[in-house]
A and B are shown apart, each in its own frame.
Chain A
Amino acid sequence: MIKRSFFKSKYLPYLLILPQMAVTLTFFYWPAIQGIIQSFLLSDPFGRRSTFVWFYNYIELFTDPLYLESVFITFVFSLAVAFVSISLGLFIAAMANRALKATALTRTLLIWPYAVAPAISGIMWLFLLHPSYGIVALGIKRWLGIDWNPVLYGSDAMALIVMASAWKQVSYNFVFFMAGLQAIPKSLIEAAAIDGAGPFKRFWFISFPLLSPTFFFLTVMNIIYSFFETFGVIHTVTQGGPGGATNILVYKVYQDGFVGLNLGSSAAQSVVLMSLIIVITFLQFRFVEKKVQYGG
């Protein structure tokens, strides 16, 4: 018999959700609404004058070819980060799942990079790949004969920040894939093995489909990560350069708003960014989730 408690008071439930509502309203909705209002204003940083300018800030944004380029760069960047970090995370998880010796140790060590802050990760990669003082960069230039220079070439810089951003996210993905793999019943794998399926086939036809919920979740998380949290990497490694080649949307918001004190434009950019994330997440849930198998 299921025991259900219920309350006579009409107000108690409201009272109970009040703290949660208060926190959400003050820390999420209020700033968001402020941001939307600000995006219709031109105001000086000291807040002494504000003019309502309708869609001026948005028109300025969308007539700026560099802003549209920044949107494009952001998509290229986040897809690259998501692809690299998810595929590597899955690969390592599949390997670690079959590890025979020191399993606990290998798994723990593989999780470590996640504890590194994006800014630090950026600096470490810079030490390796900076054209002037990067140890690996010197090797690339000397032995591979490639003119590697992320300070000068946009594509090199993009490759560098994708690596630095994806690297620490691999660990995050690894943890979830590992958990997903552990949850797959051994009996299914063993049955397939008896039927003569090799390790690769077992993975591709059994583990991989059963991992689809994890896969879906991680795609959403990785895209959100690359949209926002990679700020630290960009800030320490390229500052959006060279020639704006790595100027992703969130970095531009910071540059224009915090450093340049153009609050109206920066607010309009935040609103665009927010809408993009809402649309992307919606599309993912609408179209991709249908193909996900939650049942075992």
Chain B
Amino acid sequence: MKRMKLFVFFIIAACFALPASVFAEPVTINWWHAMRGPRGDVVEKMIGDFNASQTVYKVVGTNKGNYDETMNAGVAAFRAKKQPHLLQVFEVGTQTMMLSGAIYPVYKLMTDTGYDVDWSRYLQAVLSYYMNADGNLMSMPFNSSTPVMYYNVDMFQKAGIAPLSKSAPITWDQLGDITQKIVSAGIAPAGMVTAWQSWTQIENYSAIHNIAFASKANGYEGLDCELKINNPQVVNHITRLKTWADDNRFMYGGQKYQGPSAEFTAQNAAIYIESISGIAKLLKTVKDFKWDVAPLPVEAGTLKPQNSIIGGASLWVLNGHSKKEYKGVAAFLKFLASNDMQEYWHKQTGYFPITIDAYESLKSKGYYDANPFQEVGISQLNRAIPTKISRGLRLGYFVQIRNIINEELEQVWNGKKSPQQALDTAAQRSNDQLRTFEKTYK
């Protein structure tokens, strides 16, 4: 009996001793992301390449659902002290992450681990969205996109309209004439549709024309900021869209992209404003007509339009891990920013390459000559140095604010409110949210 006990003891002891005895076990880095389907496969491939490139670290990527689900998983894990090293968070969660006290700022991580990154070699309009007020990078941009204007080339030809330039934007007045021609000639039932109306028609419209979306440099410089979207320019823009909606030059297709996208692919609308990440989908679904991409329109008399702003998500490093593991995180972030990875990512998904080097490398290889529509977004993003107003938005409860803007705009489209009333209410309701947010973090 005694011998039996001893035997069991040895077996158990051996089991416990085993993992420790395997020499040079790689350090595991956990990354929770929101990329599924084809994009998820691209992410897996990049992780695989990193793991194959060295033996010290092993990155494990886990999909946690869509953006909100991934963020909630990260929050819950942090509360349970089981947080991953890297968490992908959508752009509207930036303020919450920045104030969370749960993060290790990326600029600090890179210096602490001895990487000397030349941030000026990155796309500035992408970085600026994730910088703090002092210009330090808080999270690593991962998937970034910006809205552009897609148009139906066949319909333009029928209406006798010349193809649009890929670098010089047309004016909104010109767009009004174009849609007028198309609708009155009966070429399409509607002129234009737009996806993500708050992002494309208010946030980006404001950035391009250098109009403040919110006070305190769009919220970068203080939690006591207030929304400024009820200014004459934006009200004027929404009023114009409402007039267009009344004579079918504009058609409202829903808050997200599914409705507007369906209208464009079914040729019910000649023009479609949507993120550059929609290119891949159009390439796959549109077979019966030719389409092309142009930069977003600007107001007549805008001499130097500003950069548009980005959407998408970035990678946050969460604190509470060992130094050794952070070295691995830094190595992985460095690897992701390499030309090979950025080129692969851009080609496969349509999201921006985040470094100028990768962009120039693609250019020298002739990628943009073969795929000219892929360059429209980048040049629109790079055409000016971001100002304090065009660099991005830093708002608490941004999700709720976008919901409010959506709701109020819908009241305009269905005629229940005037543009001025709707934008006034939107600003006032959003300010209530901002005050609650401010109170939470005081």
Chain A positions within 8 Å of B, measured between CB atoms, are 42-49, 51, 53, 56, 60, 64, 66, 130-133, 151-154, 239-244, 255-256, 258-262, 264-265
- Inter-chain CA distance A37–B432, complex, in Å, is 23
Given the complex of chains A and B, what is the CA–CA distance between A225 and B256 in angstroms? 28
Please indicate the chain B residues that have their CB under 8 angstroms from the CB of A44 in the complex: 96, 99-100, 440-441
**Whole-angstrom distance between the Cβ of B117 and the nearest chain A Cβ:** 27
Closest-by-CB residue of A relative to B401 is: A260
The answer to whether B96 touches A151 (Cβ under 8 A) is: no
Interface of A is mostly: loop
Q: Please tell me if the beta carbons of B263 and A45 are within 8 angstroms of each other in the complex.
A: no
Name the one of A49, A239, A262 contacting B400, with C-beta atoms under 8 angstroms.
A262
Closest to B76 in A: A45
Find out whether the CB atom of A243 lies under 8 angstroms from the CB atom of B68.
Answer: no
CA A48 – CA B103 in complex, angstroms?
A: 12
Q: Is the Cβ of A132 less than 8 Å from the Cβ of B253?
A: yes
Nearest Cβ distance between residue A52 and chain B, in whole angstroms? 12
Bound-state Cα–Cα, A154 to B256, Å: 17
For residue B102, which residue of chain A has the nearest CB?
A46
In chain B, positions 397-442 with a C-beta closer than 8 Å to chain A are 397, 399-400, 403, 406-408, 410-411, 413-414, 416, 429, 432-433, 436-437, 439-442
Q: Contacts of A51 on B, CB cut-off 8 Å?
A: 439-440, 442
Q: Closest A residue to B93 by CB, please name it.
A: A261
A243 touches B96 (CB 8 A): no
Residues of B contacting A244 with CB < 8 Å?
A: 407
Given contacts A42-B439, A46-B102, A244-B407, contact A66 B429 (CB under 8 A): yes
Residue with the greatest number of chain B CB neighbours at <10 A, chosen from A45, A51, A56: A45
Evaluate contact between A255 and B403: CB separation under 8 angstroms.
yes
- When distances are taken between beta carbons in the complex, the residues of chain A under 8 Å from B210 are none
- B11 contacts chain A at the CB level, 8 A cutoff: no
Interface contacts beyond A64-B432, A261-B75, A262-B400: sample of 4 additional A-B pairs, CB < 8 Å, sorted by A = A46-B79, A46-B101, A132-B263, A255-B399
Which residues in B have their C-beta under 8 angstroms from that of A42? 436, 439-440
| Residue B72 lies at the interface, judged by CB distance under 8 Å to chain A | yes
Contacts A/B (CB < 8 Å), 30 sampled: A42-B440, A43-B440, A44-B96, A45-B100, A46-B100, A47-B79, A48-B101, A49-B441, A60-B432, A132-B266, A133-B262, A133-B266, A151-B252, A151-B254, A151-B259, A152-B414, A241-B255, A241-B406, A242-B407, A243-B407, A243-B408, A243-B411, A244-B407, A260-B397, A260-B399, A261-B75, A261-B93, A261-B399, A262-B400, A262-B433
Q: How many angstroms between the C-alpha atoms of A241 and B416 in the bound complex?
A: 14
CA distance A243 to B426 in the complex (A): 11
B184 on the A face (CB < 8 A): no
Give how many A-B residue pairs fall within 8 Å (CB-CB): 100
Min CB gap B247→A, angstroms: 15
Contacts of B406 in A (CB 8 A): 241
Chain A positions within 8 Å of B68 at CB level: 258-259
Chain B residue with minimal CB distance to A265? Answer: B436
Residues of B within 8 Å of A259, CB to CB, are 68, 399
The winner among B79, B263, B407, B411 for most chain A CB atoms within 10 A is: B407
Is there contact, CB below 8 Å, between A258 and B72?
Answer: yes
A132 to B259, CA, bound (A): 7
Query: In whole angstroms, what is the CA distance A130 to B256 when docked?
Result: 14
A43 to B266, CA, bound (A): 47
Contact between chains at A243 and B436 (CB < 8 Å) = no
B50 contacts the other chain (Cβ, under 8 Å)? no
Determine the chain A residues whose CB is within 8 A of the CB of B72 once the complex forms: 258, 261
Closest chain A CB from B112 CB (angstroms): 22
- Checking B100, B403, B410, B429 against A152 with a beta-carbon cut-off of 8 angstroms, the contacting residue is B410
Beta-carbon contact of A48 and B255 below 8 Å: no
Q: Which one of B100, B414, B416 has the greatest number of beta carbons of chain A within 10 Å?
A: B414
> Please, which residues of chain A bring their CB within 8 A of the CB of B62?
none
Complex CA gap A135/B397 in Å reads 38
Cross-chain contact A154 with B414 (CB below 8 angstroms): yes
Whether A242 and B397, one on each chain, are in contact in the complex, defined by CB atoms closer than 8 angstroms, is no
In the complex, chain B residues 248-296 whose Cβ is within 8 Å of any chain A Cβ: 252-256, 259, 262-263, 266, 268
Is B400 a contact partner of A260 (Cβ separation < 8 A)?
A: yes
Q: Measured between C-beta atoms, what is the minimum distance from B71 to chain A in Å?
A: 8
Q: Please give me the residue from chain A that is nearest to B79 by CB atom.
A: A47
Question: Does any Cβ of A come within 8 Å of B107's Cβ?
Answer: no
A259 to B65, CA, bound (A): 13
B78 on the A face (CB < 8 A): yes
Q: Is the CB of A242 within 8 A of B400?
A: no
Q: Are the C-beta atoms of B432 and A48 separated by less than 8 Å? A: no
Chain A residues whose C-beta falls within 8 Å of the C-beta of B436 in the assembled complex: 42, 60, 262, 265
Residue of A nearest to B398 (CB): A260
Interfacial chain A residues near B78, Cβ < 8 Å: 46-47
Contact A256 B400 (CB under 8 A): yes
Question: Is the Cβ of B79 less than 8 Å from the Cβ of A239?
Answer: no
Beyond A47-B79, A151-B254, A152-B414, is A261–B96 a contact (Cβ under 8 Å)? yes
Chain A residue numbers with a CB within 8 Å of B437 are 262
Q: How far is the CB of B423 from chain A (nearest CB, A)?
A: 14
